[in-house]
Amino acid sequence: MKRSLILTGCLAFFLSACGGALGPPPPVSTSSPTAPPTEEVHQEAVVFPTGDYDNPIPDIGTKFTLTAAQQALFDTYSKDFNFDISVFKGAAPVDVAQVYIECGNEGLWEGEYNLFYLGAAKITKAQYKAGDEQDLSTRDIRTRRDYANLVFPMLNDGKFTDNGDGSGYIEFDSVESTSDYQDIVNVKAKMNLQQVNGIWLINYNKIFETETETASETASQ
């Protein structure tokens, strides 16, 4: 029997130490209800650590990579921390998704935020940035790319389904693991998007869903 679950997040952008779960960071309050509005925040240069790194993620021989066209999109989008989503006008949903993941790998929280369709969500840039900082205060930023190598190497080969109402999803093969990374199992994952003015954006309210099938469940069928 397959069980469906919505992946939730405990890191800034999508990657989580919670067994490979994914999702946006929790909103972090940056002011009291009576405080005056704070100045809008923007991306600053990201400094990666250069010291020893004990990689906690299992290496199963997979890598998350961008195509040449996706790399060009990422370079244009992130140049000078501009993050102008108009560069994605007409871009395929999977290209948007790949750039979104790469923004997280590189610590570009504002690049992630601008690619969200927020809908009813009431999270500001300041709150999202605070969530990113909170995540980086507890773990090495280099784990993000290692999680992407584990969870997203087959995202680029995913199949996009247009729901016909401005929404759609990419279905792709992925993995999920137990908290100690001992029992890695295959999953079918969905990444949900919403189209706004001809641009596909990541649906912040429900980014990921998965269907997991363990070896014991398969044997019982």
Between these two residues, 211 and 74, which has the higher pLDDT value?
A: 74
The confidence score (pLDDT) of residue 184 equals 73
pLDDT at res. 10: 27
Which of these ranges, 18-22, 44-48, 77-81, 85-89, has the smallest mean pLDDT?
18-22
Taking every pair of Cα atoms in the chain, the longest distance, rounded to a whole number of angstroms, is 60
What are the tens digits of pLDDT across the range 152-184?
999 999 999 999 999 999 999 998 665 556 667
pLDDT at position 55 over 50: yes
Nearest to 27 by CA among 134, 146, 131, 103: 131
Answer yes or no: is pLDDT of 7 > 50: no
Indicate the domain borders of the chain.
3-26+60-220
State mean pLDDT over 4-20.
31
DSSP 60: -
Q: Which of 207, 209, 180, 195 is nearest to 25 (CA)?
A: 207
User: What is the average pLDDT across 108-133?
Assistant: 95
Between these two residues, 149 and 5, which has the higher pLDDT value? 149
